[in-house]
Amino acid sequence: MTAVTKAVRGHPAIARAMLYGGAQGLAEARLSNVKRLRKAGIVCPITLIRTPMLSQVDDVVQICEASYNTEITVIAALAAAALRHNMVHGIILMVEMGDLREGIMPRDLGDIGQQVVDMPGVALKGIGANFACLSGIAPTAAKMQALSVLADDTEGQCGPFLQTISGGNSANLSWVFDARVTGRINDLRLGEAILLGVDPITGDQIGGMYRDAFTLVAEVIETDAKSVRPLVGSADHILARIRLVPDASETTRIILAIGNQDTDVAGLSMPPGNTHIGATSDHLVVGTKDPALGVGSEMRFQMNYSALMRAMAAPDIQTNLRNDRPAPNARDVQSPSRHLALV
């Protein structure tokens, strides 16, 4: 298991909790997050899982043990940077297996792998694939078997043993739990499953996992009995998208100091007895039947992966950690695991 920290912006305490729980290394998509992890003293292997930018190759080879790649131009630049710093950088080639995001076409994998093997400064460490991100293509046993065959074929053509065959992300968990034979697949890149405890494809809770490790807390800034229906008709196409709750006397309209600039509002789970009316950049309007919610009160939300990612990156949301005793059988990495509350 490689734990992905991109949704929490490489938060060091959360990364340590992942390692404490058994992850063999970390994966990141943003170099700024890798720098944050290294600055905090985390020394485990970190892999860059988004194709490196040419403008960042020198930083990549110095702080990442390996990176996922699809472009030979970028790999050549990484090789040159590694030679400048007297290093060898690991290359994992991403293969297109149906999701249509990033990846080398399978027919070209062997030739590109051979070019990597022939380059000083880099070493071909493995291959990987991605599923259920851009096109929603789910991983299947057949696709995992095909990736295993590609690993064998690449070794046969290029020579070196491939250490990492990364089958995908949290969407692969259903397959791996059910698989009798996993073939050459020996790595998954897991973020959403660890952080939110859900299967990304079905949204179902994963057995033994918690769905409430993260909580978004917002403060009420207005509450009154204002009508939930517009008083004047409008042809504004934006207003046409506003969702209205029924005009019921027991429903109070409240405004929370959070909006689209802070999170993916559509990814928030409304607490029982509350209804989402609409949101703007800085306001979230909610219909509530809770008479205790006055100005200054707080409302708590659970989030999906998109909402969590945006909330963690929002500069005006404060991150509060609550200490938690680690499980007695967890391996000690650097510090106890912690839970997170977003405020």
pLDDT tens digit sequence for 82-116: 999 999 999 999 999 999 999 999 999 999 999 99
- Domain residue ranges of the chain, discontinuous segments joined by +: 2-196, 214-321
- Taking only Cα atoms into account, the Rg of the chain, rounded to an integer number of angstroms, comes to 23
Band the pLDDT of 251: cuts 50, 70, 90: confident
Question: How far is residue 61's CA from residue 47's CA, in Å, rounded to a whole number?
Answer: 10
Higher local confidence (pLDDT), 337 or 237: 237
Neighbour tally for 246: CB within 10 Å: 9
Tokens 């710093």 identify what position?
85
Under DSSP, is residue 337 helix (H, G, I), strand (E, B) or coil?
Answer: coil
DSSP letters, 157-192, are: HH-SPP-EEE--SGGGHHHHHH-S--TT--B-EESH
Is 3.30.160.250 the CATH number for 2-196?
A: no
φ/ψ of residue 252, rounded to 5: -110, 135
**CA 271, 272, 278, 283 torsion: positive or negative?**
negative
pLDDT tens digit sequence for 185-234: 999 999 999 999 999 998 999 988 999 999 999 999 999 766 556 544 55
Residues facing residue 126 across a β-bridge: 92, 164
Q: Report residue 64 as tokens.
A: 């990442």
Which CATH superfamily is 214-321 part of?
D-serine dehydratase-like domain (2.40.37.20)
pLDDT tens digit sequence for 282-335: 999 999 999 999 999 999 999 999 999 999 999 999 999 887 555 444 444 444
On whether the CB atoms of residues 148 and 167 are closer than 8 A, the answer is: no
The torsion defined by the Cα of 333, 337, 341 and 342, in degrees rounded to 10, comes to 10
Q: Can you give the three-state secondary structure of 117-142, one letter per residue?
A: HCCCCEEEEEEEECCCCCCCCCCCHH
| pTM (two decimals) | 0.87
